[in-house]
Amino acid sequence: MSASSCRHPIRRFSSWARAFVFVAINATLPVLAQSAASDATSLQPNTMRARVAACTACHGEQGKAGPDGYYPRLAGKPSEYLYHQLLNFRDGLRQYRPMTHLLAGLPDDYLREIAAYFADQHVPYAPPPRPAASADMLEHGRLLATQGDSARGLPACSACHGAALSGLSPAIPGLLGLPRDYIGAQIGGWKNGLRRAAEPDCMADVAKKLTPEDIGALSAWLSSRPIVEPYEPDLAGSLDLPAECGSQAQR
């Protein structure tokens, strides 16, 4: 996003944008009250930082992840991936009422601005927590993530998300640096239909083949892996995906 786009007055947006900013500022008033003494300029009008305050209230400053172990990191994710998720929440393909309510009525172009803002944020990753899982469980997760299970038609996570599991431009996210509970919940959401993507929904196809034990092992192993910088998505076209994914053609 260009710097000039952030300097445009809020009045260039119609009433939906002003309402979005109003919700954002009010959603973060308790946080701002605590930090006002140390950061008097935390929400300056006419900046994207102010406009996405409703996002960072849960997902952390600059989208670095929420402190509760559930709200995931947004910073540095591929812009198209973030845009697709905003579309999917708004249009009902992903089920989480606070997000759907927040995004209702926002036009595609504004969602692209939000996605671009967070994709451009580069925040250091916190060290992963010590995994509360057995060695056998972690090894099971490692094998699924790096090798898959051909007997069950399960591709490795790395086949789509890259050898470093850092994602693939323009729209496949990295899998490391995410909370264990979040990973398990998202795979479960695909498995039971609460989370969907554009057809053909390759993640739903994979999730339906995973057992509860698989999901537990994957979420434990992925959430325990340290980040090796630079942790960035692989270049578009650098992988031959093992399946057709509608999300990669979504616009």
- Three-state DSSP at 233 gives coil
Shortest CA distance to 245 belongs to which of 179, 183, 173? 173
Q: How confident is the model at residue 5 (pLDDT cuts 50, 70, 90)?
A: very low
Q: What is the mean pLDDT of the chain?
A: 85
Instruction: Write out the H or E segment, with its range, that includes residue 32.
Output: helix 29-35
Say if residue 227 is exposed, middle or buried (CB neighbours under 10 Å; 0-12, 13-18, 19+).
middle
Per-residue pLDDT, 67: 87
pLDDT at residue 54 is higher than 50: yes
Domain ranges of the chain: 3-119, 135-248
CATH tag for 3-119 (out of 1.10.760.10, 1.10.3720.10, 1.10.630.10, 3.30.460.10): 1.10.760.10
Q: How confident is the model at residue 28 (pLDDT cuts 50, 70, 90)?
A: very low
Q: How far from the centroid of its chain's Cα atoms is residue 67's Cα?
A: 15
Say if residues 119 and 77 touch (Cβ distance below 8 Å).
yes
Same fold, 3-119 and 135-248: yes
Shortest CA distance to 173 belongs to which of 65, 85, 86? 85
Instruction: Tell me 225's DSSP state.
Output: P
Q: What is the pTM of this model?
A: 0.80
Q: Domain 135-248: what homologous superfamily?
A: Cytochrome c-like domain (1.10.760.10)
Read out DSSP for 40-102? Answer: TTSS-TTSHHHHTHHHHHHH-GGG---TTS-SPP-TT--HHHHHHHHHHHHHTSB--HHHHHH
Mean of pLDDT values over 238-248: 89
pLDDT at residue 29 is higher than 70: no
pLDDT at residue 113 is higher than 80: yes
Least confident of 7-21, 30-44, 199-213: 7-21
Q: Which amino acid is at 149?
A: D
